[in-house]
Amino acid sequence: MTRRDATADETQPRSVRGAAPAAVEQSLRDRDPLPGTSGFAGRLEGQLVRDVLGRVPLFVDPVAGECGEWSHDPSALAAPRRVPAGHVWDDTGVEQIWQLPDLGPTRNHDRAIAAVGDAIETALASVDETGLAVAFSGGVDSALLAAALDAPLYTVGFPDSQDLVNARASADLLDRELQVVELDHADLKQAVEPVVRATGRTNAMDVQIALPIYLVAARAAADGIDRLALGQGIDELFGGYAKVVNAPDDPRIGADTVRGARRETVTTLPDQLERDSLTVRAAGVAPVTPLLHDAVVRAALALPGPLIAGEQRKQAFREATRAWVPEPIATRDKKAVQYGSLVARELDRLARQAGFKRRMDDHVTRYVESLVGE
């Protein structure tokens, strides 16, 4: 028996988002976690499937009827439960089918960089540019997409934010026009409720990250854009975090090597990608994450430690992107979106203005909850 999709055509025995059903079936037979897709989730004959990185959200309500209902949108279900990344869910239970491969490091520097470059080329070639825009911060991840794809660029931030400075500078270097979404406090307050409703999350960090994504996606949707390309996943795959570079000395990491620390951060992707995907779709466009293509994931997992934590964070990725972007962009560091856009700072300011002082435990989360409860 098959579960019913609360948001899809129930007459279809196979309904998979992100990849052809035949490719997913082959991946199941081979137990290949990286079969050459950009992620998938949905229903095959009698079972629900979700790829190893959870790049497409998937939820099931197992008590809704004899076989339950399923959806990519948890708000469509009465009692949604997440289908874990890399798992198959059927009437007999839940089973993990796919795990990230433990690839040995490619020791030759030039060969490792070339493999990353080839993987990026494969990923970019798979992108359909129809109705597409790029969420652009001016950093190397989104600049690669901007340089390679024929799609308008959208950036978001408060007027004095570093992200707007970087985005304008990078757009000039790429000779590209830029659509700028300048934020104010009213924008943040109005966006909190749809973000919380879409993601089911009120914690400060998730909301701070989701707000600029939602607001730039909403502007793109208002302009008639159907799909939004994001540079998600590169920090996790290629060592974009200080805690990875500083392993094993950083207390936030349990691994005792840089490669092990990088693997720990990769395992956080399913939770992050679910949040971002639900946020973008709530704004009215579909998310596209070209740089999370299986080819890029495989090339990243084969990198040696010095190319993860080299002269700069994301050393291998920066070297490979020089084939597409100018040197100043390839080497530019940037802050995470919630900080570079100043959304985190301004949401904190709004919380304090509303009486939620920093001496209170988790004051921004409590402020968010107050907005949703109004």
pLDDT in tens, the chain (374 residues): 344 444 444 445 569 999 999 999 999 999 999 999 999 999 998 899 999 999 999 999 987 543 468 999 999 999 999 999 999 999 888 999 999 999 999 999 999 999 999 999 999 999 999 999 999 999 999 999 999 999 999 999 999 999 999 999 999 999 999 999 999 999 999 999 999 999 999 999 999 999 999 999 999 999 999 999 999 999 999 999 999 988 888 899 999 999 999 999 999 999 999 999 999 999 999 999 999 999 999 999 999 999 998 888 999 999 999 999 999 999 998 899 999 999 999 999 999 999 999 888 999 999 999 999 85
237-252 b/e (C-beta count within 10 Å ≥ 16 → b): bbbbbebbbebeeeee
**Domain ranges in the chain?**
4-96, 109-344
Q: What is the pLDDT of residue 1?
A: 33
Query: How many CB atoms are closer than 10 A to CB 162?
Result: 17
Kind and range of the H or E element at 15?
Answer: strand 15-17
- DSSP count for the chain of H helices, then E strands: 17, 14
* HEC assignment per residue over 149-209: CCCCEEEEECCCCHHHHHHHHHHHHHCCCCEEEECCHHHHHHHHHHHHHHHCCCCHHHHHH
Residue 297: closest CA among 317, 323, 271? 317
The whole-angstrom separation of Cα 216 and Cα 155 is: 7
* Angle subtended by helix axes 109-125 and 140-148, to nearest 10: 50
Neighbouring residues of 323: CB distance < 8 A, sequence distance ≥ 6: 117
**Alpha carbons within 13 A on the beta-carbon side of 372:** 19
Backbone angles phi, psi at 196, to 5 degrees: -65, -40
The whole-angstrom separation of Cα 107 and Cα 304 is: 6
Residue 227: closest CA among 167, 273, 283, 163? 283
Say which CATH class 109-344 falls into. alpha beta
**Predicted structure pTM score:** 0.93
